[in-house]
Amino acid sequence: MAGITILGSTGSIGKSTLDVLRLHPTSYEVIALTANGNGEELLLQCAEFQPRYAVLVDQDAASTIQSRLSEKSPNTELLTGAEALEFVAQLPEAEYVMAAIVGAAGLLPALAAVRAGKRLLLANKEALVMSGGLFLDEARRNGAQILPIDSEHNAVFQCMPPDYANGLSTVGVKRILLTASGGPFRTMPVEQLSGVTPEQACAHPNWAMGRKISVDSATMMNKGLEVIEACLLFNAAPERVEVMLHPQSIIHSLVEYLDGSTLAQMGNPDMRTPIAHALAWPDRIESGVAGLDLFSVGRLDFEPPDEVRFPCLALAYRAIREGGTAPAVLNAANEVAVEAFLNVRIAFTAIPEIIESVMDQMPVTKASDLDRILNADQQARSMAEQAIVNKNQMLGVSEA
C-alpha cells in the first residue's frame, strides 16, 4: 500500500481526495490528515481513515477534539501549529503528499515535501507561483515528482510529450491553451460588477470550490495564477501560454503542436479525475466520476477573455514577465484583497486596483532564496492592507 499525507484534508480538494481513496482501500493508506481549524470535520475523517497523525494548526481547535480523537482514533497522534505541517509532509511512511492548503500558507509544507523527495500532488498553485524556480530546483535536487492537480495543468500534463522539460520547441509544441469558464460574471454588464456580493462571487456555475478560490475564479486571478504556474511547470515563455473562455468546462486545456495538431483533455468538471490521475500515474484508476456524455453536452463554446472585465489576468502576465519576487507580490496582494472583499470591506472591482497599487509600489528583486520571497510576501501584505485603509478613508467608509 502506498502511504499518503493530505495537507488540507477538510477543504474541497482534500475531501475529493478522500473520495477517491475510498474506492481503493487496499492500494492507499492515509498516513496524516491536516486542517487549519476545522476540528469537527478532521475528527470525522480520522475516525474513518485512522491516520497515524492528525494536524490542527489552530491550537484552540485542537483542544476541543483531543479527548474525542483518542476515543475514535486511538492510534492517531494529534499535532498542532504550522510547523507540524512540515513534519507530516516529510514522513518516510508517506510516499505521496497531496498539497491542498489554500494560499501562501501551503508554501512551506509543500517545499518540505519536495525536499523529502515525495511525489507531490500539487493543488496549491500559490506555492509554485511564490517560489518559482526555487521550488522546482529543490524538486530536481531531491528527486521529487510534481504532478499537477489543477484541472487545467493536469490536462496539459496529459497532452504533453514526456520530455517537455527540454523546451517546448524541441518537442514540437507551439503553445498551451488554458481554458476558463469565465466564472459567474462572464456576461454581467461591466458597470454592475462593483455591486456584486461575496455570495454572488462564490456561486461558481460549474465547480464546487472554497470561497477564496471561487472569488479568484470570478476575477480570473485564478487563471492568472495558472498562467504563471504553467510557465513554470512546462518551461514555457508567457507568450506561449494563452487563455480562452470555455463556459461549459468540458475541455480542461489544450496543447497545440507545430504540425497543426491540437490535443485536448476532456471530462466532466470534477476534481476527482485529476486527483485519480496523479495518484495512479502512469497508470489509471477509478475516480468515481461519470463518463462524459457529449450528446447531453450538445455544444462547446469558446471566446477570448475580456481584458476590461478581467484586469487581474493582465496583472498576472505582468508578474510572470517581470519575474523575481513579482509573482509573490501579486499573490500576497491578491490574498489580502480577496479577504477584504469577502469581509465586505472593499468592492469586488477594488480587488485588481489594490493589487496593481502594490505591484506599482514594490520593486522587483531576485527570488534567490526563501527569505527574500517570504519578506516580499509580508511586505506586499502590509502594503495591500494599507492601500485598503487608504481607499476606504478616501471614500469615507468606516471600518469600525
> Highest-confidence range of 118-127, 129-138, 346-355, by mean pLDDT?
346-355
Q: Is the pLDDT score of 399 beyond 80?
A: no
CB 328 within 8 A of CB 376: yes
pLDDT of 396 reads 76
- 34-76 pLDDT tens trace: 999 999 999 999 999 999 999 999 999 999 999 999 999 999 9
pLDDT of 208 reads 65
312 is written with which cell numbers?
Answer: 487581474
pLDDT band at 400 (very low <50, low <70, confident <90, very high): low
Q: State the Cα–Cα distance between residues 151 and 15, nearest whole angstrom.
A: 16
Query: How do the domains of the chain map onto residue ranges?
Result: 2-148, 155-268+291-297, 323-394
Nearest Cα neighbor of 348 from 306, 315, 390, 311 is: 311
Q: State the Cα–Cα distance between residues 252 and 358, nearest whole angstrom.
A: 32
* Mean of per-residue pLDDT scores for the chain: 94
pLDDT of 207 reads 67
Query: At CA 169, angle to CA 365 and CA 300, rounded to 5?
Result: 95
CB 98 within 8 A of CB 7: yes
* Cβ contacts of 211 within 8 Å, gap of 6 or more: 198, 202, 342
Q: State the Cα–Cα distance between residues 10 and 59, nearest whole angstrom.
A: 16
Nearest Cα neighbor of 23 from 273, 209, 291 is: 273
- Judged on CB neighbours under 10 Å (0-12, 13-18, 19+), 71 is exposed
Q: Is the pLDDT score of 86 beyond 90?
A: yes
* Cβ contacts of 311 within 8 Å, gap of 6 or more: 352, 356
235 is written with which cell numbers?
Answer: 518551461
Residue type, 206: N
Nearest Cα neighbor of 154 from 265, 250, 262 is: 265
CB 346 within 8 A of CB 337: yes
pLDDT of 371 reads 93
Sheet holding 53-56, edge to edge: 77-80, 53-56, 28-35, 2-7, 96-99, 119-122, 145-148
Helix spans in the chain (H): 12-22, 39-49, 59-72, 83-89, 107-115, 125-131, 133-142, 151-159, 198-201, 211-219, 221-233, 272-280, 294-297, 311-322, 326-342, 350-361, 370-395
Higher pLDDT, 326 or 207: 326
Q: Is the pLDDT score of 206 beyond 80?
A: no
- 106-116 pLDDT tens trace: 999 999 999 99
Upstream peptide bond of 282 is cis (omega within 30 degrees of 0): yes
Chain CA centroid to CA 109, Å:
14
Third-level CATH fold of 323-394: Rna Polymerase Sigma Factor; Chain: A (1.10.1740)
- 157-169 pLDDT tens trace: 999 998 888 889 8
Give the position of cell 485603509: 389
Give the position of cell 509544507: 109
Give one DSSP letter per residue of 351-376, joined into a string.
Answer: HHHHHHHHHHHSPP----SHHHHHHH
pLDDT of 133 reads 86
303 is written with which cell numbers?
Answer: 471566446
CB 235 within 8 A of CB 168: yes
Third-level CATH fold of 2-148: Rossmann fold (3.40.50)
pLDDT band at 203 (very low <50, low <70, confident <90, very high): confident
- 250-303 pLDDT tens trace: 999 999 999 999 999 999 999 999 999 999 999 999 999 999 999 999 999 999
Higher pLDDT, 368 or 85: 85
